[in-house]
Chain A
Amino acid sequence: MNDRRVNWPLWTGLALCVIAVASYAFFFYRFPITRDVPWVSFLLFAAGLGMLVAGVRRATGRRIVALLVAALGFGLAVMFTAGITVGSRVPAIANPPAIGAKAPDFTLPDANRKPVALAQLLAEPGAKGVLLIFYRGYW
């Protein structure tokens, strides 16, 4: 029996799991169609996890290594799923301004520290309205 034979399903399986995470983080995240539901990553994980199981079954000697590699791959899948579900949840909003309600006025400094008031923006000639975009920040 050739114990030195490379367990290619095992290592391919792990590689697919790593690619599933990396491709989402660095590429698919940019496009809404693959960001909202990371179906490409799910497919890669399905293939990867399947290969990891095959790899564990195929392992003759050094079974513990195969099990650890498989655990790593499954761990990645669990972390990824947690990250895109629980990790990206925001708490439910209590009472933001409703449609039809008056938007709370404010004055805040812009990037050049010049004060800007909502009332002033709305009063500009030809202004149809303002789109307020709240965002997490630049990081």
Chain B
Amino acid sequence: MQPVAISVDKPEESRELMRKAGYSFPLLCDPNAEVIRRYDVLHKGAGMAGQDVARPAEFLVDRGGVVRWRNLTEDLRVRARPEAMLAAAKALP
């Protein structure tokens, strides 16, 4: 199961986050929010500088490219719990 994170951050900002948090999975850069829009997880103007950013959302995609689980939040403070994600990942063929 490969985690991949996506945000509007520039590569330099992502590298800094990876270094500080010790992340080893890919952090992908979507500065114009094109992929964010494709997944319809845009939060318009919510960035610190008023820029468009992604809202927190997770999608579990299987080998065939099909969405098997997703977590969409309407409250920025409530995040996905690891248990729910792990259960969905274990259920993958």
Contact = CB atoms under 8 A, between A and B. Distances in A.
A131 B84 CA distance: 13
A103 B65 contact: yes
Interface in A95-139: 95-106, 108-113, 116, 118-119, 121-122, 124, 127-139
Nearest to A132: B59
Contacts of A36: 77-78
* Interface of A, helix, strand, loop or mixed by DSSP: loop
Interface residues of A, number: 49
Contact of B40 (A88, A94, A124): A94
Given A104-B38, A106-B38, A129-B89, A89 B75 contact: yes
B89 A89 contact: no
Interface of B: 1-9, 11, 13-18, 26-30, 34-36, 38-41, 43-44, 46-48, 53-70, 72-79, 81, 85, 89, 92
Q: Which 3 A-B pairs have the closest CB atoms?
A: A111-B14, A108-B28, A138-B17
